[in-house]
Amino acid sequence: MSPVNEMHGLHSDMRVSVVIPAYNSALFLQETVESVRQQTTPVHEIIVVDDGSTDETEQVIQSLGRDIVYIRQTNAGVSAARNRGITQATGEIIAFLDADDLWLPQKVEKQVKVLLSNPEVALVATDRADIDVQGGFLLDSLFKHRGFYEFFSELGNNPIPQALSRLMQVNFIPTSSVMVRKSALVRVGVFNTNIRYGEDLDLWARIASQHAIVCVPEVLMHYRRHGSNATQATENLLLDLVRVMKNIRSWGALALSKEGLNADKLVAQSLWDLGYWYFTSTDPRRAHNAFMESFRESPSLRTLIYAWLSLTPPGILGSLRKIKQKTIG
């Protein structure tokens, strides 16, 4: 049976299971859960997976009522926590929400409407705004910031053409905005627990390779920025993005080729980005190795020049940089 036919069986009262991974989230969890309870279309269940918290997360959850499905596990990372929630979920639709983010009241209603009217669509995301700890706005629209707002508006909640190749250019899907059919996750798999950074892109790409996806050009969630967000360690981020691109190439080279992208070049670019970071961080040996691996994946003069520059003695390289700065100036 095709993915489309599998999805025709869903009906108007489709059940939505919300999966909330939580690690030391006591400060924000109550407000996050309340934003789910205030939805104009009620959800079927709220599943909180406590990923080995050492603060008062468990006590906060216990104070929020018996309607919450609480699971505690030894710390294994956010991907493992989300996967545990997916396994536990009994709804046809899985919605992801991080324990410090917030939903606006009509989020579930509007996304369910898209899923009901488009049986071929497996994943629906929305725009997001970024807020600080006090709730002040830091960014009014992620879609506008990444240059996709007008494009998604013109689509009018219709499937994104060549979504896989667009995701390879920039990940425009906010995780806490995603609602996805569980049948699609059964088909393509869940989050890769071996990837800490970019695990969301890895999953969205697998879904986009087999199913239609939609982005609603409306801010229906708030992403909270604070010191505990897992968006640090640049080296590990870039290393994981290389892994993501290699993973995607392993299954998606043909799909990417059909959308006009060369999988080898995508891997090469991720390696070049890693090499350039080492290069600017004055780690010449690692820079050279990354540039040379990038060159082997997809040869280019630029990569070869940077591989040579990474072996240049620091004094000469400093002089070359000064010449470049004067030339640009």
Tens digit of pLDDT for each residue in 59-89?
999 999 888 999 999 999 999 999 999 999 9
Residue 229 belongs to some domain of the structure = no
* Cα(158)–Cα(177) distance, integer angstroms: 17
Q: What integer pLDDT is reported at residue 214 of this predicted model?
A: 98
Phi/psi for 71 (5° steps) reads: -125, 130
Residue 122 belongs to some domain of the structure = yes
Summarised one tens digit per residue, pLDDT across range 9-37 is 444 578 999 999 999 999 999 999 999 99
321 pLDDT more than 90 = no
Q: What is the mean pLDDT of residues 136-147?
A: 95
155 and 25 co-located in one domain: yes
Per the structure, the complete domain to which residue 260 belongs is given by: 234-328
pTM over 0.85: yes
247 and 133 co-located in one domain: no
CATH code for position 122? 3.90.550.10
Beta bridge partners of 51: 73
Q: What is the mean pLDDT of residues 195-211?
A: 96
Contacts of 313 by beta carbon, 8 Å cutoff, 6+ apart: none
Q: What integer pLDDT is reported at residue 283 of this predicted model?
A: 92
Give the sign of the dihedral formed by CA 165, CA 168, CA 172, CA 177: positive
At 203, is the pLDDT very low, low, confident or very high (cuts 50, 70, 90)? very high
154 and 254 co-located in one domain: no
At 231, is the pLDDT very low, low, confident or very high (cuts 50, 70, 90)? very low
CA distances from 239 to 68, 270, 273, 283 (A): 37, 8, 10, 15
Residue 302 belongs to some domain of the structure = yes
